[in-house]
Amino acid sequence: MRNIISLFLAVIFCCFIPIYLSFAQSLYDGLTAGNYTVGFQTRMIEDVSRNSWSGKERRMLQLSIWYPAKQKTETMIIRDYIALVNKVDDDITIPNDSVKKSRIEQFKQERSRADSSKVLALLSLPTRACYNAQAASGRHPVILALSSGGAPHSWHIMAEFLASYGFVVVSLPMPSDFTTLTSPAIDNACVLDLQVAINNLSEVSFADISSIGIIGYSAGAVRGSLLQMQSSRIKAFISLEGSDGSSLYWANFRSHPAFDITKVTVPYTAVYGTPGTRSWFNGFHFYDELPLDSYRLVEVPGLQHNAIGSWSVYNRFAPLNTTNTSNDKEAVEINTFLHTYTLHFMQAHLQNNYLSRQFINQSALQNNLPEKRYILRRYTEKSLLTYSHSLQAFGKIDEATAALRQCIELYPHSREPKILLAEILISRQQKSEASLLIESILQQDPSNNRALLLKTKI
């Protein structure tokens, strides 16, 4: 009997170890950590002035905080995050063994279609964080990592990466997108939670709340935008597949009492997948209204909405029952790029890093990345067309022409800037170039009446 048990354990060990080693090498996709050790702690806040999401008389908020630490202590494993971090409406200050076990079992159940040895290996992977490690000296810029649904530890890979470069990353539970679609008031409750969290962070010795950046994913981008419109402490904002670029959210977003486009005065970048694919981003309404030069648009071909956060990496190894994800080279490249670009964005605007400013303002080729890894668009199509019309109205035809050329370069499949530029060129007797523009329109749309009319004028 003892021999049978030994053989069984040996088989389990031989199956588990190769999977574990493979996962451990891939968890961080080759991301190079900064000079700081990373600490992690949770912090409970009690707000007696408001009810909880489920109607309890007090509102308990758990902050998950990653921060630069002095020295490395025992490294956390993924199981620790699952056990320690609350989801929406949990009011558990210190989870007991029963609660921890329940959370681990739920995590396993959500991945029950995956091989159990893979789930076990995933839960056992070491992270880059040390629980309750002593904080490094000084105060460090704060980054709020905001999503919708799930638990804050879905940010742990990004948060650990940023904390190793001298940032304090804070996240807290928020309800899912689908609830918000039918109840805009939830956005307001989330913003109030964030304001309470920021005020509480003033008591954290290593956090500099005078200089805050926001990373907003999905509905977290809408909530972060509304917070930025009400807080002078926010200095930089990056939206990763944010719902601020979703036409589904636009009406709710714009109708919020705190919405004020004139208050968007910080550097603002939207990173999104190619519209019309599995990207959530499908509208530029918000960005069309922002002042020119206040924002950047970064299109990442192949980026899918469910590819943001630690969950997307977990799903390569032990997928959620409801999710299909890819473990191919493109998925790894995209994940590495998202972390790298976010780091440079925050270093540029919160740490005033000159080299990072160069990085975020350059194309993929200029940054020695594959040409199609991302497309930097400085303006939306509508904003460039509006700008061109304004220039023409003031008789600045050369400048209007330059704006239209830029619009065509950024949005080569759009017909409107080609038609407007062709009209200007015909009026200036530059008919050969106008003819080329008209032909390119007719190749896309042979029955385009405006293009056919212009063709008769050449």
pLDDT digit string (tens) for 271-300? 998 776 666 676 788 888 887 667 888 989
Task: Report pTM.
Answer: 0.84
CA–CA dist 446, 455 (Å, integer)? 12
Tell me the average pLDDT across 163-175.
Answer: 94
Compute the chain's Rg from CA coordinates: 25
Distance between first and last Cα of the chain: 93
More confident residue, 246 or 42: 42
Tell me the average pLDDT across 195-209.
Answer: 96
pLDDT band at 255 (very low <50, low <70, confident <90, very high): confident
- Supply the mean pLDDT for the chain: 85
pLDDT digit string (tens) for 368-418? 888 778 888 777 888 888 889 888 888 999 989 998 998 888 888 889 999
Q: What is the residue whose two structure tokens read 């999710």?
A: 323
Reported for 328-332, long-range contacts at CB under 8 A and 24+ positions apart, including other chains, are: 330/302, 331/302, 331/307, 332/26, 332/29
Q: Going by C-beta distance under 8 Å and a sequence separation of 6 or more, which residues neighbour residue 256? A: 184, 187, 188, 226
Nearest to 388 by CA among 399, 372, 374, 373: 399
Checking phi first, is residue 273 left (phi over 0); if not, alpha (psi -120 to 50) or beta? beta
Q: Which two tokens stand for residue 189?
A: 């409750």
Q: Go through the domains of the chain in sequence order and give each one's CATH number.
A: 2-377 (3.40.50.1820), 381-455 (1.25.40.10)
Output the CA–CA distances (angstroms, integers) from residue 156 to 15, 120, 228, 234, in the order listed: 27, 19, 23, 22
CA–CA dist 457, 308 (Å, integer)? 51
Is the alpha carbon torsion for 118, 120, 126, 131 positive or negative?
A: positive
* Residues 241 and 303: beta-carbon distance below 8 Å: yes
Q: What is the residue whose two structure tokens read 């619009």?
A: 407
Q: What is the residue whose two structure tokens read 């719902």?
A: 243
Report the pLDDT value the prediction gives residue 39, as an integer from 0 to 100: 97
Report the pLDDT value the prediction gives residue 16, as an integer from 0 to 100: 46
Output the CA–CA distances (angstroms, integers) from residue 312 to 38, 105, 158, 306, in the order listed: 22, 20, 12, 6
Report the pLDDT value the prediction gives residue 11, as an integer from 0 to 100: 44
Q: How many CA atoms lie within 13 A of 283 on its CB side?
A: 13
- How many helices (H) and strands (E) would you count in the chain? 18, 11
Angle between helices 2-26 and 116-123 (to 10 degrees): 60
Report the pLDDT value the prediction gives residue 12, as an integer from 0 to 100: 45
Is the alpha carbon torsion for 150, 140, 135, 125 positive or negative?
A: positive
Query: How many residues comprise the chain?
Result: 458
Task: Evaluate if residue 20 carries a pLDDT over 80.
Answer: no
